[in-house]
Amino acid sequence: MRENQGTSEFRLLRGVHRTLTGLHPALESLLAAVVGMAVGAILMRIWGYNPWKAYAALFRGAYGSAFGRASSLARGVPLVFTAMTFAICMRAGMFNIGAEGQVFLGAAAAITVAFFHLPPGLHLIVGLVFAMIAGAAWSIGPALLKVTRGVHEVISTIMFNWIARFLVFFLVTNVLVDPRRAEKTFSIPVSARFPVLVSRTDLSYSIFLAIAFALVIYFVLWHTVVGYEIRAAGLNPTAARYGGINSKRTILLSFILGGIGAGLAGASIVMGQPPTYAMFSGLPMITNTGFDGMAVAMVGRNHPIGILVAAVFFGGLTAGGRTMQIFASTPLEVVRVVTGVIVITMAIPELLRIFPRTKGELVKILALIRKLRQKRASQSEESP
């Protein structure tokens, strides 16, 4: 009898321990959010603004009405895709910041469906496929540079981001431009648009695509052999190679999966966000989507489920920031500083977790930059 009682008590304690361990990351993120909001409140008070009024306007605009909730969700949809781009490669031990350029190419590829007619449904699928192919194709360059020449992904993806940006600038203003409105591209046809989910809002059925993509990536990473190899390569590359895992294949697959996600992010913006369903000159609707996704991934602990929650929170910051300006008389610059402080504090726990893994890579990057500078200096001295 006592043995059974002791066994049941042990099982209870073990269950409580597992529960607390599982809740630990969520509680850590919640504490970081509280600290970030406290620091933001102090800054607003120093600058002469009412933090209580500002935060009340923020949360009322983000979650206080059906329109606000729909707007928050709509802003979070593309961030799910770009956050997954970063998270997949981070799980594989790489710091991929190339989502920004891949979003540009994915959006431009989706716009091309305006040049031909297809039945509804099929037209939408073709646009998504074009975007996925464009994003994946643009990710292959940095992957091949890393596999064949050992080029660090941070350097290569930064260069590819700028190439993609100016390439899409050219396409928007010269190839995809609407002859009736020179400031934008052709609009996505009605047959290729995501239907609006909540009337009189910008929330479309693209939210279900984002959820499905996150769940698929979760299944791939945690319930397939390929996902095990990706995570094993990220946790311990030496042990993974010793265990027979092909590191080159893992790198290529991680980049391609991330490129598919970033391409879908671009498609979700131009095909799922009313009213224009187009790209404007200067790319204001798309710029920084890839970089914001990195912050979402950090806050979501590079886990698909955590990313879904973090994307809704980030979307709320964007949607609620407008009401802070209107109802709390808080300037846009202050709004951005406050939201930036909140984001940084929430990302710190994950940064501390991955810093030991990336510290060596950062040292390599700095050493490479130092060598390039020394080589350039020596060449300038030798030249007459």
The top-scoring range by mean pLDDT among 7-21, 38-52, 322-336 is 38-52
The pTM assigned to this predicted structure is: 0.84
The pair of three-digit structure tokens given for residue 182, joined into one six-digit string: 């020179």
- Helices H, strands E: what count in the chain? 13, 2
Measured between its terminal Cα atoms, the distance across the chain in Å is: 94
Q: Residue 116 in 3-state DSSP?
A: coil
Q: What residues are paired with 280 via a beta bridge?
A: 184
Q: What residues are paired with 204 via a beta bridge?
A: 196
* pLDDT (average), residues 53-81: 92
Residue 20: what pLDDT?
42
- Alpha-carbon distance of 331 to 106, in angstroms, equals 33
The pair of three-digit structure tokens given for residue 223, joined into one six-digit string: 């319930």
- The DSSP secondary-structure symbol of 276 reads T
- The DSSP secondary-structure symbol of 150 reads -
**Where do the domains of the chain lie, and which CATH numbers do they carry?**
30-360 (1.10.3470)
Name the residue among 48, 31, 40, 30 with its Cα closest to residue 342: 40
Asked whether the predicted pLDDT for residue 224 surpasses 90, the reply is yes
pLDDT top residue among 377 and 42: 42
Residue 13: what pLDDT?
47
* pLDDT (average), residues 3-21: 50
Residues 253-302 pLDDT 10s: 999 999 999 999 999 999 999 888 999 988 998 999 999 999 899 888 89
Residue 185: what pLDDT?
94
Residue 2: what pLDDT?
47
**DSSP string covering 21-71:** HHHHHHHHHHHHHHHHHHHHHHHHHHTT--HHHHHHHHHHHHHSSHHHHHH
Asked whether the predicted pLDDT for residue 56 surpasses 70, the reply is yes
Q: Residue 244 in 3-state DSSP?
A: coil
Residue 212: what pLDDT?
97
